[in-house]
Structures are given as structure tokens and as C-alpha cells.
Amino acid sequence: MKRCLLTALFLLLILPTIGQAEDRWDIKTLDTYQVLSDASIDSSILLDGIKADVYETTGLQEGYYKIDFNGVQGFIHSSQASTLFEQERMSFKVVEDQIPYYIMTKGKLVQKGTLLKEAVLTRTKTASVYHLVEVGKEVYYIPLAGTIPTTEPIIDTSKKAKYPMKLYNRDEVPIYNKQLIQIATLSANQSVDLIALEKSKGVIYFLGQEARINMNDFVHMDLLQPKKVLTYEEMTYLLQVVATLYPEFTKLEQIGKSVEGTPMYAMKIGNGKKEVLLDGSLHAREHMTTNVVVEMIDTYSIHYKNKSVYGGYNVRETLDQTAIWFIPMMNPDGVKLVQSGPKSLKNGALATKINGSTNFNRWKSNIRGVDLNDNFASGWDKITGGHKKPAYMAYKGPSAFSEPESQAFRDFVKKHKFKTYISYHSSGQIMYWFNYQKQAESKRDQALAKTLSKLTGYKVMPPQYLPGSGASADWFIQQTKMPGITLEISPYVGDIPVPLSKWDAIWRQNNKVGLYLAQEASKR
């Protein structure tokens, strides 16, 4: 019992010291200075100092350092002393309401923003009257004046961006710490590297520590480097970034889930009352079509924000008459199967059994072997040929709309009044437009296909007169009486994904397709 009482007494004695430890630091005075009895120029003078001296201070009060002077509290004006930063104390805290921070450009310090009170940073070293904070190849200069040493922990900066993206601010914007307390401002026309998203906030590294930004304070240039294999995960992240950057003219909506429960997303750009629809990757191996659709989102959104012209189209004017909805990946499980193999999915073993091989380059179906472009109800029961059981392609399923992916598309279309639908596929540089339209509709749709042919260089295929179809575009034509076009990118490459070497030409051929469709639909 006595030991417990002694321990408690000891803790009571040391706890105040522990609590104050981070607020104690050394200051060095000028050659002449005054110690006053209060934080006021009118208070009594306790000492007229005639040589520089070092004191331990317990904090700042109204511009005065507080010190212990011969057993009583004394005050030294901050203009008469400066903080001493010991080499081993590499962290510092801002104690003024705000102080500037700079970078060196052509031998001159250029202000990049301000740090606010309570901001805590880690310095690399000091130089003259500045802390130097090195972040990569950049060195930031922060005045010693207005800062104090601190033992407060710095947030770990080891987190790396899985999908690096650069953002830009056009005006001065706030920077927050992890607790969403503002710690700084960033001057106009700077760039930051986005690390991650947290709801409407972006995670960045600011002067060597993790920080937060308001996403809609920023814009992007090129979020996607499209000449690569684009995964579902990166695609989804990019859509979320665009949606949080531009909530005023975009909308991100989950329209359903795949067989494996993977969310399927649609994104709208523009505020037009009329709408058109484009999708990609209905067939798994044709995943370069996702790149086409996502690059449209990337490109059109920044031109909308900038009120600029792209490909001869005033993007904002065009999309505020007719908005574009994009479904970048209709078959996420199938795409993942082709890109990452069967071990990446719960039903991978089933797909391997269906395929008869672990090489899925030829795979078009969803994860359970249903060809989604044979699963729509446009004379589905009259489809002839194809496989009679689950296969890598051309199995129409046990019934029309048996698959959650085709159901999601059907339900989404029925909620809207789309003027046009483009279903992107590969390969062959051809397009299909016909599904027994009436004469006026047939004339309209063929004219649209011919204009798209001029735009892309792709060949318009003659009517097929199939007895039945399960294609999404054919169902769309039948359901809405509006144009539905299947557009096959790339020269024919056979039963494999389109090689990345084809990308540059594909984008040149298709970069204006969405804007043309929006403009054309505005006239109907």
C-alpha cells in the first residue's frame, strides 16, 4: 500500500513536467534587453541586460517569451531574443499566426504560401535565419522567427501513391493536417502529388508530412497515362478522383454488381438535359476499350473545366446541351481474369475448367462463361450457333438477362432517355448499326454511322439480317428506337487483347467520338 502511495505521489510530481516538456526551449537575447514583470511595455523592469544571455522559456504570451527569473516569472519581448534550435531537435512548430515559406528560384527566395499557427514540420538543417525542409529535390525555406522546437511527433510519410496523379491549384488554397485543422496555405498556380482520397479530401505530402486538401480546389491535366493495361482498380480510383474534383458537372453512380460482387460504375460529364451513352469492355479480352472511354473522361472533363475547345468542339457548351454517360468496364470480372489470371478471382477455378487452360487471352465471357453480348433480349431465343454451355465466348446463357452485368445495363438504360449508344469492342476497325429499324430510323442511324466512319476511318458494315441477337446495341435499338452502334477499334488482331502498340492510332481515331455524338444528339 505504501509503495502505491509513493508511486502516485511521484506521478503527481512529474506529470506537470511531462506535460510542459514540449513547451520549453532555449532563447538567446540580444546584447541589450529587458526582463519585465508582465507581458506589457508598461510593466516593471526586473533587469536591464547588458550582454547576450541564454534563458529557458516556457512559451510565448502576447509577443513576449516567458522565463523563470530568480524564482519569479519574467518576460522578454520577442524582438529582443531568438529561439535556439539544437541540432538533435529536428522538429519545429509555428507559434505565430502565420509565417511564409519559400523556395529558391534563380538565386531568389520566392514565396509559395504560408504556414499557420500549430503547424509542425521536420527540418533537414538550418541556414542563416531559415529552417531548410528538403522534400525530394525541392528545398523549402521557413523563417526561424515565429517557430519553436518541439517534440510533437510527425505523421509518417512512408505511404506511397498506388496510382500517382498530379493536381494543380489556380488560386490560393488551404492545406490541412490529418485532423482537418488548417496548417498552411498554398499560393496560386502550384502543383501537388495526390497520394490517396478520403471522401472529398485528397491526401498529399506537404513539406515532408502527410496533409489534406479540398479536392474541388484543384484541377488536373492528365490523370491517365493511357498506353498501358488499365486495371479495374486504377479505373475506379480515377473515376472517384474526377468525381471529387468536379462535383459541379460530373456524377459517379454504381449501376450494379458483377457475378463476383464487383461494383459497376457509370460516370456522367456535363449538365445537358439530353444524354448519350458509351461503354467498354463488355468482352473481357477487349479491355483496351476501357482505356478509350476513360481517356475520354480524362480529356473531356478538364476541357469542360477550362471552358476550352477540344477537337473543334467547345466542350462545356456541347456537354451542357447533351451530357455523356460512360460505363468504362461492363465486364470487370472477365477483364480481371484476362489481365491477372484465375487466382485473382473467387470463381477462377470454374473459369479455368470452362476454358480448359490457364491462358485467358482469348476469353470474352463473364467469369462464369456467359458471353454478355449474347445475353440481351433482342430475339435472344432465336440466336443460332454458338456454344450450348458456358464457354470463353458465344454462350448466350440460360436465359436473356440471366447475368447481373446485363441486368445492370438494362435497368440503367431504362432509367434514362439516351439519344445514342456506342458499345466499344475490338477488333477490326468496323461498326455495326442495323437491327431492323423502321425506314426513317434506319436512314437516321445509317447516316450517323457514316459520319462516325468519316471521323474514325472505320468501315460501316452492311445489315446482317440475323434471325435473333443478344447484343447490347441491338437490344438498345429495339428498346429505345434510338441509334445503337457497335464500334470495333484497332486493326484485326485475332483472339487476343489489342497490343499497346496500337493505342496511339486508336486514340487519334476515337478522341472526338463522344463530343460528336453529344453534338449530334442535341439536334434531335
Paired residues of 254 in beta bridges: 265
- CA quadruple 227, 233, 239, 244: dihedral sign: negative
488 is catalytic: yes
CB 354 within 8 A of CB 392: yes
CA distance 504 to 483: 28
Collapsing DSSP to helix, strand or coil, 204 comes out as: strand
What is the spatial distance between Cα 4 and Cα 167, in angstroms, rounded to a whole number?
Answer: 57
Rounded to an integer, what distance in angstroms lies between the CA atom of residue 59 and that of residue 65? 6
Distance CA 131, CA 148 (A): 11
Give me the phi and psi of 375, to 5 degrees please.
-105, 0
Q: Hey, what's the cell of 95?
A: 507559434
Q: What is the DSSP letter of 63?
A: T
Distance between CA atoms of residues 472 and 410, nearest Å:
9
Per DSSP, the three-state class of 210 is strand
Best CA proximity match to 246, nearest among 134, 323, 182:
323
List, as one string, the DSSP characters of 91-106. Answer: EEEE-SSEEEEEEEET
- Cα separation, 481 vs 286, in Å, equals 27
Distance of CA 438 to the CA centre of its chain: 44
CA dist 134 and 60 (Å) reads: 28
Q: Are 405 and 374 in contact (CB under 8 A)?
A: no
Preceding amide of 427 cis, omega within 30: yes
Judged by DSSP in three states, 219 sits in: strand
Q: Rounded CA gap, 224 and 219, in Å?
A: 14
CA distances from 97 to 26, 63, 146 (A): 21, 11, 9
Cell of 302: 478538364
Angle, CA 519 vertex, CA 275 and CA 223 arms, to 5°: 75
In angstroms, rounded to a whole number, what is the distance separating the alpha carbons of residues 341 and 333? 10
Check 210, 275, 405, 488 and give the catalytic one. 488
Catalytically active residues, by annotation: 488
